[in-house]
């Protein structure tokens, strides 16, 4: 049985500000007021959060939504979170009923099949009420904030890589009130306190989410007080109508057709030698952009299964990038998009399928791009390194005796594209608003020392436009610790476009150069003082025939240590010295001989 999911219907693209009863200038003023409010929510969150994953990395999704739960303003963070917030709010309203949500209420939702994320990414949201012209309180919208918290009684501290059932993944809150009419619900906070390995930091972060939502609620109420409930509501309708109009105009410019691609997740965390297939068919018509995941793996035992809201969210990210990348995110942008999934598959988890790892979403977005590259290689880059390559450590701090848990994401190389080379060492496309955790923070707050950190030469796929190179970071542990490597795309290579070469895949090396050396990917490691982990990330795929690359560009790559002398000859047919000086005569002869061989 196949199910179709899509956002709630939005206004017609022909809707205008006048049709909604609000003039265009007022709509624009309100739109910017909402965007400023979302940015203020993010600042308050980062000022009050306890967890560096939030205030350093910006692992969050923040939004303001209309009364239907459709986003009208967001703040940069984890790109797939905001659309997931829409999905979670709508499921909560279906479960509880909007009429049960009172002024001052604040809710928490982390039931993965509704919330669009795993247990440790709880969605906190607040309904926003304001007086209408008769002085009667009406629901005008919602403020939402999703972050990664540290612990909610999942079976393993830090992260879960091998759960086989949802019951192993922590405690669930199915749209539960943290605040009732503005008063803290101590019963719920006590449940969290007595079911978390790190209660102070977990509760502190959740309270920071509440603070962000209260900020958003206050700012939207101020807009209503200034302009009136009807004006603000019609402005939000106009914002989404305009977002849909822009998306449909962009859709009309895309090539029409159907293209299919697939890729694999390394394993499901339980059956470690089994690749897990994601199959994607994209169909573009005059009216729709359909992403069909039929044929993807079913019966996956481990926690890489995706709640359907998460599948919708990462598909929305790709659709946004292909249609309206330069405008703020609003729900109307996604009205032409539809996804198709099979319940029980890796792309549509149903209870009690495990969902904790979620890494399928990172690779899944690039499977959509892989399909699109067949029909529009002038618009789509080659694959990136394919992952956020997270490293997480935890233990007892040697100076304070307190438990510590710190994490960071690594940069990967981006794929080459029609306009030029892929970026070297940049955050994965799923988290464009995020940063890595500063070295000084990691070393201060943990038992980890960063011995080296730099680019990883020869990892970008060769091409007329080179794939960006990945990075390598060496972690040395100074005391007993647990090192959790959330690193995938280690068994399949980043794919190229138009005759380029694949990028180098990701890998983690434990104790390199010793008799205890182990090369691995996603893993849970019990470490002792002196143990070393090297997180080496992949490069992007190449774009176009490498023999067509400008030899001078290859020389620059050698001089900048992105490409070695031997790889320049092997992959590009360029004879170059270590200082980047190209032997043009020898290069011409080398390339000519290769042309004769291929003929």
The pLDDT of residue 437? 94
Nearest alpha-carbon partner for 502 in 555, 452, 546, 563: 546
**pLDDT class of 133 with cuts at 50, 70, 90:** confident
CB-based burial label for 185 (10 Å; 0-12, 13-18, 19+): middle
The residue ranges of DSSP E strands in 188-308, in sequence order, are 257-265, 276-284, 289-292
CB-based burial label for 569 (10 Å; 0-12, 13-18, 19+): middle
In tens, the pLDDT along 290-335 reads 999 999 999 999 999 999 999 999 999 999 999 999 999 999 999 9
**pLDDT class of 596 with cuts at 50, 70, 90:** low
The pLDDT of residue 595? 80
The pLDDT of residue 15? 39
Reduce the DSSP state of residue 198 to 3 states and report it: coil
Q: b or e along 198-209 (b: 16 or more beta carbons within 10 Å of the residue's beta carbon)?
A: bbebbbbbbbbb
The pLDDT of residue 22? 85
How far apart are the C-alpha atoms of 158 and 357, rounded to whole Å?
Answer: 12
More confident residue, 262 or 398: 262
DSSP-assigned states of every residue in 99-117: GG--TT-EEEE--HHHHSS
The pLDDT of residue 80? 80
In the chain, where the domains are located = 3-245, 381-545, 550-599
Nearest alpha-carbon partner for 473 in 408, 567, 386, 524: 408
The pLDDT of residue 433? 84
The pLDDT of residue 81? 84
Average pLDDT over residues 188-198: 98
pTM of the model: 0.94
Nearest alpha-carbon partner for 452 in 465, 439, 462, 434: 439
Residue 7 pLDDT > 90, yes or no? no
The pLDDT of residue 315? 97
* Percent of the chain at pLDDT exceeding 90: 91
The mean pLDDT value of the chain amounts to 95
* Percent of the chain at pLDDT exceeding 70: 96
Residue 6 pLDDT > 50, yes or no? no
Residue 111 pLDDT > 80, yes or no? yes
The pLDDT of residue 18? 44
**pLDDT class of 11 with cuts at 50, 70, 90:** very low
**pLDDT class of 597 with cuts at 50, 70, 90:** low
The pLDDT of residue 16? 43
How far apart are the C-alpha atoms of 48 and 193, rounded to whole Å?
Answer: 18
Residue 570 pLDDT > 60, yes or no? yes
Range from 108-122, 169-183, 424-438 carrying the lowest mean pLDDT: 424-438
In tens, the pLDDT along 330-364 reads 999 999 999 999 999 999 999 999 999 988 999 99
Length of the chain: 599
In tens, the pLDDT along 71-95 reads 999 999 988 887 899 999 999 999 9
In tens, the pLDDT along 205-248 reads 999 999 999 999 999 999 999 999 999 999 999 999 999 999 99
Average pLDDT over residues 174-195: 98
Average pLDDT over residues 251-261: 99
How far apart are the C-alpha atoms of 450 and 483, rounded to whole Å?
Answer: 14
Sign of CA dihedral 210, 212, 215, 219: negative
* Chain position carrying tokens 């969150």: 45
How far apart are the C-alpha atoms of 234 and 22, rounded to whole Å?
Answer: 6
Helices 79-96 and 308-323, axial angle in degrees (round to 10): 130
How far apart are the C-alpha atoms of 550 and 15, rounded to whole Å?
Answer: 50
Residue 266 pLDDT > 50, yes or no? yes
Angle in degrees, CA 564, 565, 566, rounded to 5 = 90
Sign of CA dihedral 435, 440, 441, 442: positive
Average pLDDT over residues 545-557: 98
- Of all helices (H) and strands (E), which one includes residue 527? strand 523-527
The partner residues of 109 in beta bridges, in order of sequence, read 123
The partner residues of 139 in beta bridges, in order of sequence, read 129
Alpha helices, DSSP H only, in 423-496? 439-445
Residue 8 pLDDT > 80, yes or no? no
Residue 21 pLDDT > 80, yes or no? no
Contact of 467 with 500, CB cutoff 8 Å: yes
């Amino acid at each position: 049985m196949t199910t179709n999911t899509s956002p709630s219907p939005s206004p017609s693209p022909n809707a205008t500000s006048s049709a909604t009863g609000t003039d265009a200038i007022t709509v624009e003023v309100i739109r910017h007021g909402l965007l400023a409010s979302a940015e203020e929510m993010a600042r308050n969150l980062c000022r009050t959060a306890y967890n560096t994953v939030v205030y350093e990395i910006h692992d969050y999704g923040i939004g303001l939504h209309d009364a239907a739960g459709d986003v009208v303003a967001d703040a940069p963070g984890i790109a797939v979170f905001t659309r997931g917030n829409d999905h979670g709010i709508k499921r909560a309203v279906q479960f509880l009923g909007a009429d049960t949500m009172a002024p001052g209420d604040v809710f928490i939702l982390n039931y993965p099949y509704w919330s669009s994320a795993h247990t440790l990414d709880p969605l906190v949201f607040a309904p926003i009420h304001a007086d209408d012209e008769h002085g009667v309180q009406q629901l005008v919208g919602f403020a939402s904030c999703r972050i990664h918290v540290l612990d909610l009684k999942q079976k393993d501290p830090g992260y879960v890589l091998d759960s086989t059932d949802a019951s192993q993944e922590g405690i669930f809150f199915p749209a539960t009130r943290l605040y009732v009419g503005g008063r803290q619900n101590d019963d719920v906070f006590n449940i969290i306190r007595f079911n978390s390995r790190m209660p102070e930091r977990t509760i502190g972060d959740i309270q920071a989410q509440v603070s962000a939502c209260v900020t958003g609620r206050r700012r939207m109420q101020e807009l209503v007080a200034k302009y009136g409930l009807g004006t603000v509501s019609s402005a939000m309708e106009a914002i989404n109508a305009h977002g849909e109009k822009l998306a449909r105009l962009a859709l009309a410019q895309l090539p029409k057709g159907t293209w299919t691609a697939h890729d694999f997740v390394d394993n499901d965390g339980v059956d470690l030698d089994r690749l897990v297939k994601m199959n994607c068919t994209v169909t573009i018509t005059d009216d729709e952009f359909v992403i069909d995941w039929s044929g993807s793996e079913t019966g996956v035992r481990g926690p890489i299964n995706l709640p359907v809201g998460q599948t919708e969210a990462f598909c929305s990210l790709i659709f946004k990038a292909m249609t309206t990348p330069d405008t703020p995110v609003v729900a109307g942008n996604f009205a032409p998009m539809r996804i198709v999934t099979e319940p029980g598959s890796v792309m549509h988890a149903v209870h009690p399928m495990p969902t904790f790892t979620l890494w399928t979403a990172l690779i899944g977005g690039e499977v959509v791009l892989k399909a699109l590259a067949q029909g529009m290689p002038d618009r789509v880059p080659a694959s990136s390194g394919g992952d956020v390559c997270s490293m997480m450590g935890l233990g007892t701090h040697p100076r304070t005796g307190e438990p510590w848990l710190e994490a960071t994401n690594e940069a990967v190389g981006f794929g080459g594209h029609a306009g030029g080379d892929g970026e070297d060492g940049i955050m994965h496309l799923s988290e464009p608003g995020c940063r890595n955790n500063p070295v000084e923070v990691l070393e201060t707050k943990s038992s980890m020392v960063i011995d080296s950190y730099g680019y990883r030469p020869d990892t970008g796929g060769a091409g007329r436009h080179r794939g960006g190179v990945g990075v390598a970071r060496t972690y040395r542990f100074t005391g007993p610790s647990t090192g959790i490597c959330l690193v995938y795309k280690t068994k399949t290579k980043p794919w190229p476009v138009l005759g380029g070469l694949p990028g180098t895949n990701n890998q983690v090396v434990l104790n390199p150069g010793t008799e205890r050396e182990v090369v691995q990917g996603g893993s849970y490691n019990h470490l002792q003082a002196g143990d070393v982990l090297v997180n080496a990330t992949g490069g992007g795929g190449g774009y176009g025939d490498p023999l067509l690359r400008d030899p001078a560009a290859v020389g620059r790559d050698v001089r900048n240590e992105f490409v070695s002398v031997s790889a320049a000859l092997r992959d590009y047919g360029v004879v170059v010295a270590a200082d980047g000086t190209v032997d043009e005569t020898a290069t011409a002869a080398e390339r000519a001989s290769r042309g004769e061989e291929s003929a």
